[in-house]
Amino acid sequence: MVKKVDKILIELRNVKKHYQMGEVIVKAVDGVSIEVKEGDFVAIMGPSGSGKSTSMNLVGSLDTPTHGEIFLDGEDISTLTESDLAQVRGRKIGFIFQSFNLIPNLTAKENVMIPMMFQGTDLLEREEKAEKLLNLVELEDRMDHYPNELSGGQRQRVAIARSLANDPEVILADEPTGNLDTKTGEIVLKFLKDLNKKGRTVIMVTHDPNLAQEYADVVYWLKDGVVDKITKRSKTERRE
Amino acid sequence: MFEDYFRLAFRNLKHRGVRSWLTLLGIFIGITAVISLISLGNGLQVAIGSQFGLSETELISVQAGGLNFGPPGSSIADSLTMDDLEAIGRLSSVKQVTRRNLESGQLEFNDKVIFGFSINVQDGDERKFLYDQLGIETISGRLLKDGDMKKVVLGYNFYSNGVGLDKEVRVGNKVLIQGEKFEVVGLLDKQGSFIYDNIVMLNEKDMQDLFSYGDTVDIIAVLPRDKNNLEGTKEDIEKLLRERRDVDFGKEDFEVSTPESSLDQVNGILNGVKIFIAIVASISILIGAIGIINTMTTSVLERRKEIGIMKAIGARNENIFFQFFIESSLLGLMGGIAGALFGTALGFLGTLVINSFIGTDVRPAISFSLIFFSLLGSFLLGGLAGISPAMKAAREDPVEALRG
Edge to edge, what strands does the sheet with A8-21 contain?
A: A24-37, A8-21, A67-72, A75-76
Distance, in Å, from the CA atom of B28 to the CA atom of B15, rounded to the nearest integer, reads: 20
Tell me how close the Cα of A49 comes to any Cα of chain B, in angstroms: 16
Tell me how close the Cα of B372 comes to any Cα of chain A, in angstroms: 30
| B206 backbone φψ class: left, alpha, beta (φ>0; ψ -120 to 50) | alpha
The CATH number given to A41-56+81-232 is: 3.40.50.300
CB-hemisphere CA count at 13 Å for A124? 0
Tell me how close the Cα of B387 comes to any Cα of chain A, in angstroms: 19
Residues of B in contact with A122 (CB under 8 A): none
CB A62 within 8 A of CB B402: yes
Give residue B52's pLDDT band: very low, low, confident or very high (50, 70, 90).
Answer: low
pLDDT, average across residues A10-16: 92
Q: What pLDDT score does B358 carry? A: 67
Q: Which candidate from A83, A104, A166 shows the least CB-CB separation from B316?
A: A83
CB A34 within 8 A of CB A1: no
Tell me how close the Cα of A174 comes to any Cα of chain B, in angstroms: 12
- Residue window 9-28, chain B: list those with CB within 8 Å of chain A: 11-12, 14-15
Task: Indicate the residue type of B284.
Answer: S
More confident residue, B358 or B220: B220
Touching check for A74 and chain B: CB below 8 Å? no
Give the global pTM: 0.73
Q: Tell me the range of B52-56, B68-72, B105-109, B189-193 where mean pLDDT is highest.
A: B105-109
Tell me how close the Cα of B313 comes to any Cα of chain A, in angstroms: 5
Residues of B in contact with A94 (CB under 8 A): 313
Residue in chain A nearest B8 by alpha carbon? A106
Q: What pLDDT score does B49 carry? A: 65
Give residue A95's pLDDT band: very low, low, confident or very high (50, 70, 90).
Answer: very high
**Strand pairing category for A218-223 and A41-45:** parallel
Q: Which candidate from B308, B313, B399 shows the least CB-CB separation from A114?
A: B313
3 state SS of B209: helix
Distance, in Å, from the CA atom of B155 to the CA atom of A50, rounded to the nearest integer, reads: 97
Distance, in Å, from the CA atom of B106 to the CA atom of B22, rounded to the nearest integer, reads: 54
CB B182 within 8 A of CB B176: yes
Q: Which candidate from B306, B312, B319 shows the least CB-CB separation from A62?
A: B312
CB A45 within 8 A of CB A207: yes
**Strand pairing category for A8-21 and A67-72:** antiparallel
Exposed/middle/buried for residue A178 (C-beta within 10 Å: 0-12, 13-18, 19+): middle
Give residue B186's pLDDT band: very low, low, confident or very high (50, 70, 90).
Answer: very high
Q: What pLDDT score does B105 carry? A: 86
Give residue A239's pLDDT band: very low, low, confident or very high (50, 70, 90).
Answer: very low
Exposed/middle/buried for residue B182 (C-beta within 10 Å: 0-12, 13-18, 19+): buried
More confident residue, B71 or A193: A193
* Length, in residues, of chain B: 404
Give residue B50's pLDDT band: very low, low, confident or very high (50, 70, 90).
Answer: low
Exposed/middle/buried for residue B3 (C-beta within 10 Å: 0-12, 13-18, 19+): exposed
Tell me how close the Cα of B321 comes to any Cα of chain A, in angstroms: 12
Distance, in Å, from the CA atom of B291 to the CA atom of B196, rounded to the nearest integer, reads: 49
Q: What proportion of chain A, given as a percentage, has pLDDT over 70?
A: 95
3 state SS of A29: strand
**pLDDT for residue B69 is more than 70:** no
Residue in chain A nearest B305 by alpha carbon? A101
CB B154 within 8 A of CB B108: no
pLDDT, average across residues B319-334: 94
CB pairs A-B closer than 8 Å: 71
**pLDDT for residue A9 is more than 60:** yes
Residues of A in contact with B310 (CB under 8 A): 103, 114, 118
Of A32-46, B225-239, B381-395, the poorest mean pLDDT is in B225-239
Give residue B331's pLDDT band: very low, low, confident or very high (50, 70, 90).
Answer: very high
Q: What pLDDT score does A234 carry? A: 64
- Residue window 383-402, chain B: list those with CB within 8 Å of chain A: 398-399, 402
> Crossing angle, helix B25-51 and helix B317-358, to 10 degrees?
30
3 state SS of B52: coil
Residue in chain B nearest A55 by alpha carbon? B399
Is B1's CB within 8 Å of A86's CB?
no
Q: What pLDDT score does B76 carry? A: 56
Bridge partners of A11, per DSSP, are A35, A71
Q: What pLDDT score does B243 carry? A: 87
Touching check for A162 and chain B: CB below 8 Å? yes
Touching check for A148 and chain B: CB below 8 Å? no
Distance, in Å, from the CA atom of B44 to the CA atom of B53, rounded to the nearest integer, reads: 14
Tell me how close the Cα of B353 comes to any Cα of chain A, in angstroms: 45
- The 10 Å CB-count burial string (b at 16+, else e) for B30-50 is bbbbbbbbbbbbbbbbbbbbb
**A167-211 pLDDT, tens digit each:** 999 999 999 988 888 888 898 899 899 999 988 999 999 988 888
Q: What proportion of chain B, given as a percentage, has pLDDT over 90?
A: 24
Q: Which candidate from A63, A87, A105 shows the least CB-CB separation from B314?
A: A87
pLDDT, average across residues B295-307: 92
Residue in chain B nearest A122 by alpha carbon? B1
3 state SS of A236: coil
Touching check for B78 and chain A: CB below 8 Å? no
Q: Which candidate from A63, A118, A166 shows the least CB-CB separation from B319?
A: A118
Q: What is the DSSP letter of A66?
A: S
